[in-house]
Amino acid sequence: MRVALGVSYNGSAYRGWQSQPGGLTVQDRLEAALARFATHEVSTVCAGRTDAGVHGLMQVVHFDTPLERTPFSWVRGTNTFLPPDIAVQWARTVPDAFHSRACATARRYAYVLLQSPVRPSVEAGRVGWVFHALDGEAMRDAAAHLLGEHDFTSFRASACQAKSPVKTLHRIDITRRGLPQAPRAEGPASRDDVPTCYWRFEFEGNAFLHHMVRNIMGCLVAVGQGQHPPGWMESVLGARSRDAAAPTFSPDGLYFLGPVYDAAWGLPTRTAAYDWLP
C-alpha cells in the first residue's frame, strides 16, 4: 500500500531535507523512524526539497509498505522515534498513482522577517533580520515584475539541478505585522528609530529553483531599503545572470508551507504548525 505523510520540522539543526552520506538531514531522521516503526527499510519521496536551515510546515512525502496500519498509527508510531524538532502531522493511504512531487500543482513558501534595531533572540533561527526600515509598497511593486512565467536564471543557485530555469510564480503577498511607528525623536535619524515589526512574504509557484526564494528575498530587501528602485527587479530578471541579483538571503526565516494538490486526492491542506507563524 502507498502512504502519504504531512511532516513539519524545524530545519535549524539539519543539513536540509535530502539524505546525505553523513546523515543529519530531515529525510534521514524520518526514514530511520519509519523503519523502526514499520520494521522494514522505508524510502520516501518528498514534494519539495528544502535547504540547510529551512523549515517545513507541511512537507508531504509518500512511501510504499506491505504493512496495513491505521493512519493515526503511522502518526503516533513514527513520532515515537523522531526527535522533538520533527513531527508527522497526518497520514493517509493513497492510490498507487499518487506521487508527492509529480502530483503537486503548485508549491508555497513563506519568509518571516524581523525588522528591528535589535537582533532576534527567542526567534533566533526562525526569522530573518534587517535593522533598516523597509518600504512595503516599493517591495510589492518590485515583486509584481516576477509574476507569471519567466526565466529565473538570475535567482538560481550555481548548484541547481533543475532541467529548466523557466518557472511560473502565481503570487507574492507581502504583509506587515507589528506596532505602528512611534514618533521620531528630534535630530538626525538613527538605527534606534527603526520601528519593530514582522514582515511576511508568501510565494506560490508551480516550482522553485535552488535558492530561488532566498535570492528573490535578497532583491526585495534591497529595494525595500532604498538601494534600488522597484523597476530594478525587472532588469535583474531580464539579465538572466546570478551576478545581476543581490546576495542570497539568510535561510532562517524561510518556511516550506507545502504543496498544492487536486482536491480529489483528499489530502489535508493545513496543519496545526501553520497557526503560530506570524
pLDDT of the residue at 194? 87
How many other CB atoms sit within 10 Å of the CB of residue 121?
6
| In the chain, ranges of CATH 3.30.70.660 domains | 106-256
Instruction: Give the residue among 209, 269, 261, 264 at the shortest CA–CA distance from 100.
Output: 261
CA distance 272 to 197: 24
pLDDT digits (tens, 9 = 90+) for 245-275: 999 999 999 999 999 999 999 999 988 877 7
- CATH code, residues 2-103: 3.30.70.580
**φ, ψ for residue 222, nearest 5 deg:** -60, -40
Catalytic residues: 51
| In the chain, ranges of CATH 3.30.70.580 domains | 2-103
Q: Does domain 106-256 have CATH number 3.30.70.660?
A: yes
pLDDT of the residue at 172? 98
pLDDT digits (tens, 9 = 90+) for 135-166: 999 999 999 999 999 999 999 998 888 899 99
